[in-house]
Amino acid sequence: MNGHVDDTRVLVAGGAGFIGSHLCDRLINEGHRVLCIDNLYTGRMDNVQHLLESPRFTYAIHDVTAPMSYDDISLIFNLACPASPIHYQKDAIYTTRTAVVGTLNLLELAKANHCPILQASTSEVYGDPLVHPQTEGYYGNVNPVGIRSCYDEGKRCAESLCLDYHRQYGVNVKVIRIFNTYGPRMARNDGRVVSNFITQAVSGKDITIYGDGTQTRSFQYVDDLIEAMMRVVKTDNNFTGPVNLGNPNEITIKTLAEMVITLTHSHSQIISRPLPENDPRRRCPDISLAAQQLCGWKPNVNIAEGLSKTIEYFRKKCL
Ligand code: NAD
Ligand code: UDP
């Protein structure tokens, strides 16, 4: 993609989801034609409703586990996959099928259209990491038979498929490993920690910390991720990744809960709930490769600013 606008379309699989809808916005704003495909498993039409007015935006209900035969595609983004533990564990076999067969089908489409494909992989490929911060060279510590493995192993296999399509067929693949990303348009029932804490705080309910809250994550605001993704697709054909995309500001879940309470001026109490099985203890990206390959990219939105924007969104949706 070189900023040149033509009649070809950018396909966004999972475009009605949280990240996908922000990506569709950005592509439309930059003048591209966008074909958004989604089966609304966790996504919502509400996320892309405003784009339907644009003659350059098309939407199709499509499950990526079924083969696709779209043509005139100049670039593919594959974001189609449930991403929140409660949703990807609800039907674990569906999750593995989506991650693996869905990616295979989109790689076939990229091959047929001779176009690049960006694969949304995840920091979950590192499992419960024993190395901090995580670099792309770390192979991870994943339980292959646990309740998270449908997602972790599904995404690992998808990465493997991407690199094999590159080696065997010369497909231009870009694998990104996204670390915990949050922002407006996360679903209220998404189940991930930021949306849970904010909806609980603004509606005065108890804030549920799983375990003792000393586990860490590094939270990236969605706009920073979208900027990185747009830079990744402009890298040379021989840059396949994987590349970590995340905010290296590592905080505990307890600190996150306290920040949300402060920013929402909430009277909610913090309560403890059991820690889910195989919940990673620590997670923090090393983003040196991204900085080097993506013209000095680094996250710009700090956690207080990002949370405030997300709180504003949820206040409108919840109250
Ligand atoms: P999301 O659940 O909001 O979006 C996923 C989208 O994929 C939804 O619109 C859903 O309906 C769609 N989908 C699911 N299965 C499908 C199928 N079989 N066919 C077609 N569409 C399908 O989640 P998100 O946070 O926007 O995540 C988007 C992508 O980014 C996912 O692939 C996820 O694994 C990856 N990711 C996200 C994060 C994060 O923190 N948000 C972190 C790492 C990786
Ligand atoms: N978490 C929590 N309360 C919640 C939801 C999640 O304490 O209501 C914890 C969860 O156990 C994990 C961290 O927050 O340690 C991040 O969870 P999330 O599901 O957002 O993402 P992931 O575990 O996939 O990084």
Residue in this structure with the two tokens 């009649």, named with its chain if needed: 7
Residue 8's pLDDT is: 84
Joined tokens for residue 121:
């992989």
Which of 151, 165, 182, 221 does the annotation list as catalytic? 151
According to the model, what pLDDT value does residue 319 have? 59
User: Cα(248) to centroid of ligand 2, in Å?
Assistant: 17
Ligand 2 centroid from CA 211, angstroms: 10
For ligand 1, whether the C-beta of 40 sits within 6 Å is: yes
pLDDT at 6: 64
Task: Determine the pLDDT at residue 184.
Answer: 98
So what's the pLDDT on residue 5? Answer: 47
Split the chain (319 residues) into runs of 10 and give each run's mean pLDDT: 65 98 98 98 97 97 96 97 97 98 98 98 98 98 98 98 98 98 96 98 97 98 98 97 98 98 98 97 98 98 98 88
* Integer Cα distance of 109 and 5 in angstroms: 21
138 annotated active-site: no
| CB of 106 shorter than 6 A to ligand 1 | no
Measured from the CB, is residue 191 less than 6 Å from ligand 1? Answer: no
CA of 142 to the centre of ligand 2 (A): 17
The CATH code that applies to domain 5-185+220-248+283-300 is 3.40.50.720
Cα 4–chain centre separation = 26
pLDDT score, position 2:
46
Answer yes or no: is the C-beta of 218 below 6 A from any ligand 2 atom.
no
Task: Please tell me the distance from the alpha carbon of residue 5 to that of residue 51, in angstroms, as a whole number.
Answer: 18
270-289: b (≥16 Cβ within 10 Å) or e: beeeeeeeeebebbbbbbeb
Q: Domain residues of the chain, as ranges? A: 5-185+220-248+283-300
**What is 244-272 written as a DSSP string?**
EES---EEEHHHHHHHHHHHHT--PPEEE
Instruction: Return the residue matching tokens 């792309």.
Output: 136
Residue in this structure with the two tokens 């407006």, named with its chain if needed: 184
Beta partners for 36? 12, 59
Strands 216-218 and 73-78: unpaired
SS3 69: coil
